[in-house]
């Protein structure tokens, strides 16, 4: 049983007196005085006292509520409701042998008024004049380049299908984004060297092995490129997206039956759609570049470095691309004055020098692998995207992400 | 109350909040672990009811200009100090609103005493600790308190070296 409650006033009236004298003066036991003095010293006396404005209710004998429903009724008649008050109540009673008597006690404390509903438009209006002045971005590097190539969306092989290729591509971009956040380049170049979709006009087996029809391949690849640019646009002041025609992208009537010029290519069509979508969005730092009409290659300006792009289906072996480039240089074709040439198509990383100390990079692919090539040669390659940083024609931090 | 230090990475924007009858708010842009943060904005507001909503609106405004940055809030928690007669309980209500309306945000609470070495001069005659950083704003006492909490968070939770070197009190000064 709890000791009788002593209030702060009670304790103050006997302050300084020994417990025994204080107990006599207040008409309680010494242990009661000790208990409440202890509560006071712990600083919890206020919490144990009835709250300010609380209503004490007691009832004995006839009409005493004995059930929860009767308690509600009893309190309602006195203008007390759980909606407006915090209520504590208890039942008591004794049995004298001849009769049973009941008692009831309740404490009702008024609840604080409910907070006003937050007006979001008002809050927005109040910060309208707040001006956020972001820190000036300090660039640690000039240009970061990533070379997505040969997704071949729609293709299935040893490493899965479209879903897996998409996952690999997005994982590569996520890995690249981590590097970029650390190195903080001024410009990002996304150099897609073709074969964005698998298409149906390279081998007759594509009709049965592809997991997507052509319209879906195109729309899926478009969504993937848009997502990549959306993720990278926030990471640099300037983002350049460039792509070139390729053998899987070509508009064909059957295997090796080309129908149009170099721009009759699904990769080029997707790049044009991406440019349109970007122009309608809030992203204002992405530019899209494609080769000039009738050309299959191009050179883009990456800071102070010139980067050439070509798919690579112009030659049968990756080692031959240097010779191809030499011819392009002699004919003053689009890649003639590039410092670095990026090549796709071969699905396997190569890196070698050509001409006057220029570089040929052949990028790894994001496609699901090639069982045809593995059965033929036994070789498989690491999937991913090639990435490096460049400034003044030189490169650094080469990696497959 | 208080959440774990999760998923917080550079670049980030830290919004310091000193809740009270007049609430101080200081916004810091922290681009990297190697650069000094920038005091990107600050203000004081004498109205407790819309503070949580203002913070969310502020986050939205900040993210439009820094879409790559994570936004986190550093809030001074309420301590009922012994010996204070009739304390102002407004911070409790603001913190209640923050807990209710910003349950999905990264909110870090700090005790008022954590920022004390940026308030009290280490020796007689030395200036306010915040002045060493160059982020002291005249007549903006509450916003300055919010700044102090951001600095403490940067130093104690993120070990942000440029901030430490800029003005964090050292034994030899």
CA distance A253 to chain B (A): 45
- Best B31, B71, B102 member to test A by mutation, with max A CBs in 10 Å, is B31
The two beta strands, A185-192 and A238-243, are: parallel
pTM for the model stands at 0.59
Q: Is the Cβ of A94 closer than 8 Å to some Cβ of chain B?
A: no
B122 vs A134, higher pLDDT = A134
How would you classify residue A363: left for phi > 0, otherwise alpha for psi between -120 and 50, otherwise beta?
beta
Choose the closest CB to A137 out of B31, B62, B101.
B31
Residues of B at the A interface, defined by Cβ within 8 angstroms: 9-11, 27, 29-32, 35, 37-38, 40-41, 43, 45, 47, 49-50, 52-54, 56-58, 61-62, 65-68, 82, 93, 97, 101
Residue B129 has pLDDT above 90, yes or no: no
- Best A134, A137, A185, A282 member to test B by mutation, with max B CBs in 10 Å, is A134
A335 vs A86, higher pLDDT = A335
Compute the distance between CA of residue A110 and CA of residue B164 in angstroms, rounded to an integer: 50
**Letter string b/e over residues A202-224, b meaning 16 or more CB atoms within 10 A of that residue's CB:** beeebeeebbbeeeebbebbbeb
Poorest-confidence range of A103-112, A175-184, A302-311, B15-24? Answer: A103-112
> Helix (H, G, I), strand (E, B), or coil: what is residue B125?
coil
Residue B122 has pLDDT above 60, yes or no: no
Cβ contact (<8 Å) for A130 and B52? no
Q: Are A17 and A59 in contact (CB under 8 A)?
A: no
Cβ contact (<8 Å) for A123 and B57? yes
ipTM of the complex: 0.75
DSSP class of A26: H
Cβ contact (<8 Å) for A127 and B67? no
Poorest-confidence range of A137-141, A169-173, A223-227, A262-266? Answer: A137-141
Cβ contact (<8 Å) for B40 and A133? yes
- For range B75-100, the mean pLDDT: 80
B3 vs A191, higher pLDDT = A191
Q: Pick the closest to residue A328 from A302, A290, A299 (CA basis).
A: A299
- For range B83-88, the mean pLDDT: 69
The per-residue pLDDT for B81 is 67
- For range A315-342, the mean pLDDT: 96
Going by pLDDT thresholds of 50, 70 and 90, the confidence category of residue B102 is: confident
Q: Report residue A307: phi and psi, to 5°.
A: -115, 125
Cβ contact (<8 Å) for A118 and B68? no
Residues in chain A with CB shorter than 8 Å from the CB of B58 are 127, 130
Handedness of CA B60, A186, A288, A222 (dihedral sign): negative
Residue A44 has pLDDT above 80, yes or no: no
- For range A33-44, the mean pLDDT: 78
Choose the closest CB to B41 out of A130, A184, A235.
A130
């Amino acid at each position: 049983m709890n000791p009788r409650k002593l209030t702060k006033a009670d304790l103050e009236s006997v302050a300084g007196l020994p417990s025994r004298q204080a107990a006599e003066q207040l008409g309680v036991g010494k242990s009661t005085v000790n208990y409440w003095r202890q509560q006071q010293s712990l600083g919890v006396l206020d919490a144990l006292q009835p709250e300010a404005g609380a209503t004490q209710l007691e009832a004995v004998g006839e009409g005493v509520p004995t059930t929860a429903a009767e308690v509600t009724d009893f309190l309602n008649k006195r203008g007390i409701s759980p909606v407006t008050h915090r209520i504590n109540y208890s039942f008591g009673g004794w049995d004298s042998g001849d009769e049973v008597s009941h008692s009831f006690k309740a404490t009702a404390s008024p609840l604080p008024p409910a907070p006003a509903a937050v007006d979001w438009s008002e809050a927005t209006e109040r910060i309208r004049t707040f001006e956020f002045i972001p820190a000036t971005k300090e660039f640690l590097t000039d240009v970061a380049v990533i070379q997505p190539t040969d997704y071949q969306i729609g293709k299935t092989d040893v490493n899965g299908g479209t879903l897996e290729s998409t996952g690999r591509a997005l994982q590569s971009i996520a890995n690249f984004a981590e590097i970029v956040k650390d190195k903080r380049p001024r410009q990002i170049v996304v150099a897609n060297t073709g074969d964005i979709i698998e298409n149906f006009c390279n081998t007759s087996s594509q009709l049965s092995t592809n997991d997507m029809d052509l319209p879906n391949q195109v729309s899926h690849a478009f969504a993937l490129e848009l997502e990549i640019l959306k993720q990278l646009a926030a990471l640099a002041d300037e983002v350049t997206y460039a792509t070139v025609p390729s053998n899987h992208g070509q508009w064909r009537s059957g295997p090796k039956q080309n129908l149009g010029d170099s721009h009759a290519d699904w990769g080029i069509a997707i790049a044009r759609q991406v440019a349109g979508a970007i122009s309608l969005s809030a992203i204002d730092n992405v530019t899209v570049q494609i080769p000039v009409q009738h050309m299959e290659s191009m050179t883009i300006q990456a800071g102070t470095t010139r980067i050439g792009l070509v798919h690579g289906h112009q030659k049968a072996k990756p080692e031959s691309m240097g010779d191809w480039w030499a011819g392009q240089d002699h004919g003053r074709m689009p890649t003639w004055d590039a410092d670095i040439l990026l090549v796709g198509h071969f699905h396997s990383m190569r890196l070698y020098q050509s001409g006057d100390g220029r570089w040929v990079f052949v990028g790894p692919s994001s496609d699901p692998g090639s069982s045809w090539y593995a059965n033929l040669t036994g070789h498989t390659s690491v999937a991913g995207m090639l990435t490096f940083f460049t400034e003044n024609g030189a490169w650094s931090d080469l990696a497959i992400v | 109350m208080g959440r774990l230090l999760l998923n917080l990475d550079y670049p980030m924007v830290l919004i310091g909040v000193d809740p009270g009858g007049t609430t101080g708010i200081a916004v810091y842009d922290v681009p990297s672990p190697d650069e000094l943060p920038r005091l990107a904005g600050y203000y004081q507001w004498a109205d407790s009811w819309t503070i949580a909503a203002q913070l969310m609106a502020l986050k939205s405004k900040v993210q439009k200009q820094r879409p790559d940055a994570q936004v986190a809030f550093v809030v001074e928690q309420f301590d009922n100090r012994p010996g204070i007669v009739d304390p102002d309980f407004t911070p409790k209500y603001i913190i209640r609103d923050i807990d209710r309306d910003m349950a999905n945000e990264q909110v870090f609470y700090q005790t008022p005493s954590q920022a004390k070495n940026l308030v009290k001069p280490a020796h007689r005659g030395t200036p306010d600790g915040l002045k060493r950083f160059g982020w002291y704003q005249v007549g903006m006492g509450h916003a300055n308190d919010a700044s102090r909490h951001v600095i403490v968070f940067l130093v104690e939770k993120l070990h942000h070296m440029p901030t430490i070197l800029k003005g964090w009190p050292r034994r030899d000064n």
